[in-house]
Amino acid sequence: MISPKFIFLSKVDFPFHLGTKIEVSKDRLQNGGSEAINSAGRSKENVWEEVVAVSENSWEDFKLEALRYKALLEKDVVRAIEKGNKNILRYLVNRIYRIRKSVKVDVLQKVSEGDSKADESALRTLLLCKWEGPIVKFLDKERQTRMFEGEKEHIRFIANNLDWIDPNVQAMAMEGDNEGIRMASNQIHYKSLRNLKGDEYCDDFNMKLYARALAAHKLEDNSGKVKESDNGWTLVENRKKKAKSGDKEKIHPLPTAFTIFLAKIPTRAKASEIWTFFSRMGRILDIILPRKRDRFGNRFGNRFGFVKTDDEVVTEKIIRNLKTTPLLGSLLDFRFMGEHKKSSLVPMWEIETVKADIKTSIVRKERAEGKKMERMVTQKNQELVDRNAVWKIIKDHRKGVKNLGKSGSYDDSISAKKALRNETGKLCKEGVLNKNLLELEISGLIGFSWFPMTGIILQEVLIEEGFSNILVKEISCWKFLLSFKDSNDKGLFDKSRVKHWLHDIRSFEEEDRRIRRKVVVEVRGIPFIAWSESTLMEITKHIGDWGWWINEAEENKVLENPKVCIYSDELLSIAIRSSISVEGVGYEVGIVEIPFDFLKVNSSPRSLRDDSDASKIEKDKVLNQEVQNSACQKDSGGNYKESVEVQECRFGEDSIQSIGSTSRSDLVWDFPKSIDKNNSIIDTGDFADHGDSQRTLCQMLGKVKIKGPGRPKKRKIGKNPFEIGRCKFWPLTRKGLVHGISKGSSQKGEGDGKQTIRTSEAELILESALDIGLILKEDKERTLDIIKDHLAKGQI
């Protein structure tokens, strides 16, 4: 191992070295070129410099010492040392000698031990030290000569290409700053690519990428547009870049921008995360994320955006990666929007995007007679295909379909088909066959669903499964007709793909020609404890096929008689009286058909605060009680059994007219907003609790709040505290108000007035419970006292 040697020279015999600043004027740099820069090294006459000569064999020694003092070195230098990069040997020796001479020995010992205070003291000493370290040379003469000649050529290259360098970088290079020299080299390299012709880089792919990143035009002379600002920086005015062709000047076409539409972006994804996700795939021009999001949430998800690129290669790479790479755990939906020019002066280049999977098996033979070929497209197999290649595929398919008619087998099938059409046409004209029913029997299927649903839902399911050529017609909520265009499409239908939605798929039969009428009936007089789907199905089974229970459990705002949708053969209006037995108690119920628009009319009051509304409630309540007393008769005694006995009996004409003309309304309760959407409050419909239903209803009654006179509403505080008159720190005083209380309102205390209000509210709650069919545990007076106590404590 050769130890470093110290050499003291009287002159510096090379132009540049680390830490030395060269002072050269702009005129000398432009006129003298490299000679001016070379003379900068000889400008410091009679100045002694410390020089250290090292060899490559001393790398390990300096490496170990540098790792001991790594807290005083740059992070990039430490990382390069750990990876064994010997190219930084000269810089490393310079830093080690500067640390040795500037920092005390005891402080360096503590730095090597990891003392943080010693690190701060050493860094402060290095910051205040003016000495920049020794000049480092190699003992190997060939390597030293090569390095010296390379620096010399580098400086000459910069001096001969000053037109490519920014004026601010020129000033840094003239001062001999190493960072300025590096920036000047980069600017010369990239800006020189702008003058390359198309033939020079079209063959080289890497050169093509570099050239596309730069604007394709020549650099103009900036001499007349350079100004100096007050703070010493040089300013260059923005200018339009033009390309001359003959006598006319025209704006050069800007690069093409490719746009990709994105959907279902995760809501929690930040803009920086989305930018990092796409920048890994290639160079991105812009990402647009609109603030206005999809309010429906079913087309594009809750969040969507756009990604713009300027290279077709990067666009294809992004589309290819989006199919498999998720963003924050979820795959994005995307669509290629084509490409367009950034400038509106340049015409757009139209590109056709075709989804590659063209299903030739669905092409019918009738298309050979001149019909247009339909392309079956799938959303999942979306790919970019060249326009000419797609049209070539389409023409080949057309030629193949036309050539099918030349064979004998095809002609025989056409003749047989025509003969069959002529025979069926004669029968249809004579009235023997129904043409529409005949087509349904040939190209139709009947399917039954596992659960009640509408035809619109089943149609969307078939489209998602790829059967877009099937038309769904709803016969009932359980039975559907699948109509195909012809028998060929019917043969291609795969039943296994819809097995989770439909079962017992069969052909159209004669019994399917008679379609039953869909009616809505209301079951009146049935007690609340018998409100379940099984009970209603047993009561209405003699009328027709069960459809569904219309009263939705999610809308717990109105408590009314159950309404059921039934598919019946009855053509007249339905009005039936039946007797049932629930838990040993006999009841008579009425089943009456009602119109379909019953949900649109709601004549029941929404509030109990107004006197006029209260009077309407009393009238409806009395009328409702009279109707129920006349229609429902309770039997005495008997053990409680969970059995329902139904006996059918018809109304007479007089009773049908009386029921149709009687104006009745249902009992309506106003629930507070905090429990509107709580499904556990009322156990009705398909969610019925078959346990103790009376206990469940009592729990519900304990949470009902009857609206009555109370404290006046407080004035709402404005959202904007800086708006005049709405600051949240101002007192709530205005004309007619004192601290938010109206002067005309009276605050009721614990006097007779409040006791009277509680009595009326308690009586109203008790009567409502009796109307529903609840049985009192104790006498009426004791029950009223209990309800009053709950009202006083605020539990009701």
Identify the CATH number of the domain in which residue 268 sits.
3.30.70.330
Sign of torsion over alpha carbons 96, 99, 104, 106: negative
Mean pLDDT in residue range 768-796: 81
Residues in the chain: 796
pLDDT grade for 452, boundaries at 50, 70 and 90: confident
CATH number at residue 473: 3.30.70
CA–CA dist 515, 235 (Å, integer): 85
CA–CA dist 223, 583 (Å, integer): 104
Instruction: Give CA separation, 100 vs 69, 103, 459, 673, 731, in Å.
Output: 10, 6, 83, 78, 72
Mean pLDDT in residue range 54-72: 87
Say if CB 339 and CB 259 are below 8 A apart: yes
117: helix, coil or strand?
A: helix
Q: For tokens 């299927």, what's the residue?
A: 445
CA–CA dist 137, 149 (Å, integer): 14
Please indicate, yes or no, whether residues 697 and 715 belong to a single structural domain of this protein: no
Domain contains 353: no
Please indicate, yes or no, whether residues 21 and 106 belong to a single structural domain of this protein: yes
Across the beta sheet with 575-582, what order do the strands follow? 544-549, 563-568, 517-524, 585-594, 575-582, 647-650
Burial of 173 (0-12, 13-18, 19+ CB in 10 A): buried
Domain contains 518: no
Please indicate, yes or no, whether residues 581 and 507 belong to a single structural domain of this protein: no
Q: Out of 151-155, 294-298, 502-506, which region has the weakest mean confidence (pLDDT)?
A: 294-298
> In this model, does residue 46 exceed pLDDT 60?
no
> In this model, does residue 104 exceed pLDDT 50?
yes
**What is the structure's pLDDT at 557?**
53
> What pLDDT, in 10s, does the model give residues 112-142?
888 889 999 999 998 888 888 888 888 877 7
Q: Out of 87-96, 514-523, 591-600, 715-724, which region has the weakest mean confidence (pLDDT)?
A: 715-724
CA–CA dist 780, 766 (Å, integer): 8
Extract the tokens encoding 508: 């159209």
How crowded is residue 591: how many other Cβ atoms within 10 Å of its Cβ?
24
Mean pLDDT in residue range 460-483: 79
pLDDT grade for 694, boundaries at 50, 70 and 90: very low
Cβ contacts of 463 within 8 Å, gap of 6 or more: none
Q: Out of 239-253, 666-680, 694-708, which region has the weakest mean confidence (pLDDT)?
A: 666-680
Q: Which residue has better confidence, 249 or 289?
A: 289
Please indicate, yes or no, whether residues 690 and 717 belong to a single structural domain of this protein: no
> What pLDDT, in 10s, does the model give residues 604-651?
333 333 444 444 444 444 444 443 433 333 344 433 333 344 444 333
**What is the structure's pLDDT at 707?**
54
Q: Out of 428-437, 575-584, 669-678, 785-794, which region has the weakest mean confidence (pLDDT)?
A: 669-678
Percent of the chain scoring above 90 in pLDDT:
1
**What is the structure's pLDDT at 442?**
66
Which residue, among 538, 536, 535, has the nearest Cα to 521 in the 3D structure?
536
Which residue, among 575, 564, 572, has the nearest Cα to 657 in the 3D structure?
575
Please indicate, yes or no, whether residues 773 and 647 belong to a single structural domain of this protein: no
**What is the structure's pLDDT at 639?**
37
Domain contains 250: no
CA–CA dist 544, 770 (Å, integer): 33
> In this model, does residue 478 exceed pLDDT 80?
no
Alpha carbon 7 to its chain centroid, in Å, reads 70
Say if CB 176 and CB 21 are below 8 A apart: yes
Q: Which residue has better confidence, 340 or 771?
A: 771
Sign of torsion over alpha carbons 26, 32, 33, 39: negative
Mean pLDDT in residue range 165-184: 82
> In this model, does residue 666 exceed pLDDT 80?
no
Say if CB 287 and CB 307 are below 8 A apart: yes
> Any alpha helices (H) in 311-381, and if so which ranges?
312-322
> In this model, does residue 769 exceed pLDDT 80?
yes
**What is the structure's pLDDT at 247?**
44
Instruction: Give CA separation, 373 vs 363, 394, 405, 410, in Å.
Output: 7, 8, 16, 19
Please indicate, yes or no, whether residues 550 and 650 belong to a single structural domain of this protein: yes
Sign of torsion over alpha carbons 606, 608, 613, 617: positive
CA–CA dist 747, 354 (Å, integer): 75
**What is the structure's pLDDT at 378?**
39
**What is the structure's pLDDT at 466?**
79
> In this model, does residue 180 exceed pLDDT 50?
yes
Q: Which residue has better confidence, 198 or 606?
A: 198
> What pLDDT, in 10s, does the model give residues 724-739?
444 344 444 444 444 4
Percent of the chain scoring above 70 in pLDDT:
48
**DSSP code of 554?**
T
CA–CA dist 749, 747 (Å, integer): 6
**What is the structure's pLDDT at 285?**
85
Cβ contacts of 710 within 8 Å, gap of 6 or more: none
**What is the structure's pLDDT at 208?**
55
**What is the structure's pLDDT at 130?**
84
Buried b (16+ CB within 10 A) or exposed e, 99-131: beebbeeebbebbeeeeeebbebbeeeeeeeee
How crowded is residue 549: how many other Cβ atoms within 10 Å of its Cβ?
21
> In this model, does residue 165 exceed pLDDT 80?
yes
Mean pLDDT in residue range 272-300: 75
Amino acid letter, 513: R
Cβ contacts of 610 within 8 Å, gap of 6 or more: none
**What is the structure's pLDDT at 37?**
46
Say if CB 736 and CB 718 are below 8 A apart: no
Q: Out of 52-56, 434-438, 532-536, 708-712, which region has the weakest mean confidence (pLDDT)?
A: 434-438
**What is the structure's pLDDT at 702?**
54
**What is the structure's pLDDT at 716?**
58
CA–CA dist 675, 34 (Å, integer): 86
Task: List the beta bridge partners of residue 49.
Answer: 9
Domain contains 242: no
Q: Which residue has better confidence, 238 or 763?
A: 763
CA–CA dist 37, 33 (Å, integer): 7
CA–CA dist 308, 317 (Å, integer): 13
Which residue, among 78, 113, 79, 114, has the nearest Cα to 96 in the 3D structure?
78
pLDDT grade for 264, boundaries at 50, 70 and 90: confident
Quote the radius of gyration of the chain (alpha carbons, Å): 45
Strands 49-54 and 135-138: parallel
**What is the structure's pLDDT at 510?**
62
Q: Which residue has better confidence, 787 or 39?
A: 787
**DSSP code of 124?**
H
Please indicate, yes or no, whether residues 461 and 603 belong to a single structural domain of this protein: no
Q: Which domain holds residue 285?
A: 256-341
Please indicate, yes or no, whether residues 615 and 694 belong to a single structural domain of this protein: yes
CA–CA dist 267, 790 (Å, integer): 46
Q: For tokens 């006319």, what's the residue?
A: 248
Task: List the beta bridge partners of residue 243.
Answer: 250
Alpha carbon 406 to its chain centroid, in Å, reads 54
Residue finishing a domain among 685, 702, 719: 702
**What is the structure's pLDDT at 207?**
55
CA–CA dist 257, 212 (Å, integer): 12
> In this model, does residue 197 exceed pLDDT 70?
no
Label residue 264 left, alpha or beta by phi (over 0 means left) and psi (-120 to 50 means alpha): left
Burial of 450 (0-12, 13-18, 19+ CB in 10 A): exposed
Amino acid letter, 385: V
Alpha carbon 243 to its chain centroid, in Å, reads 44
**DSSP code of 563?**
E
Say if CB 91 and CB 77 are below 8 A apart: yes
Q: For tokens 């398909």, what's the residue?
A: 686
Question: Phi and psi for 333 in degrees, rounded to 5?
Answer: -85, 140
Please indicate, yes or no, whether residues 661 and 533 belong to a single structural domain of this protein: yes
Q: For tokens 């308690």, what's the residue?
A: 762
Residue finishing a domain among 652, 674, 702: 702
How crowded is residue 714: how many other Cβ atoms within 10 Å of its Cβ?
11
Alpha carbon 4 to its chain centroid, in Å, reads 65
Question: Phi and psi for 473 in degrees, rounded to 5?
Answer: -120, 130
> In this model, does residue 336 exceed pLDDT 70?
yes
Q: Which residue has better confidence, 234 or 796?
A: 796
CA–CA–CA angle 322, 328, 331 (5° rounding)? 35
> In this model, does residue 100 exceed pLDDT 50?
yes
**What is the structure's pLDDT at 362?**
39
CA–CA dist 485, 235 (Å, integer): 72
Percent helix, strand, coil in the chain (nearest 5)? 45, 15, 40
Please indicate, yes or no, whether residues 536 and 659 belong to a single structural domain of this protein: yes
pLDDT grade for 715, boundaries at 50, 70 and 90: low
Number of domains forming the structure of the chain: 5
Please indicate, yes or no, whether residues 561 and 687 belong to a single structural domain of this protein: yes
**What is the structure's pLDDT at 480?**
82
Domain contains 276: yes
Across the beta sheet with 135-138, what order do the strands follow? 5-9, 49-54, 135-138
Say if CB 525 and CB 632 are below 8 A apart: yes
> In this model, does residue 689 exceed pLDDT 70?
no
Mean pLDDT in residue range 785-793: 83
> What pLDDT, in 10s, does the model give residues 1-42?
334 444 333 333 333 333 333 344 444 444 444 444 444 444
**What is the structure's pLDDT at 613?**
44
Strands 502-507 and 444-449: antiparallel
Say if CB 564 and CB 533 are below 8 A apart: no
Mean pLDDT in residue range 500-516: 73
**What is the structure's pLDDT at 562?**
84
Domain contains 383: no
339: helix, coil or strand?
A: strand
Among 122-131, 337-346, 420-429, top mean pLDDT goes to 122-131
Please indicate, yes or no, whether residues 447 and 491 belong to a single structural domain of this protein: yes
Residue finishing a domain among 294, 325, 341: 341
CA–CA dist 304, 286 (Å, integer): 14
CA–CA dist 47, 479 (Å, integer): 104
Mean pLDDT in residue range 349-377: 39
Domain contains 735: yes
Mean pLDDT in residue range 385-402: 45
Mean pLDDT in residue range 234-250: 48
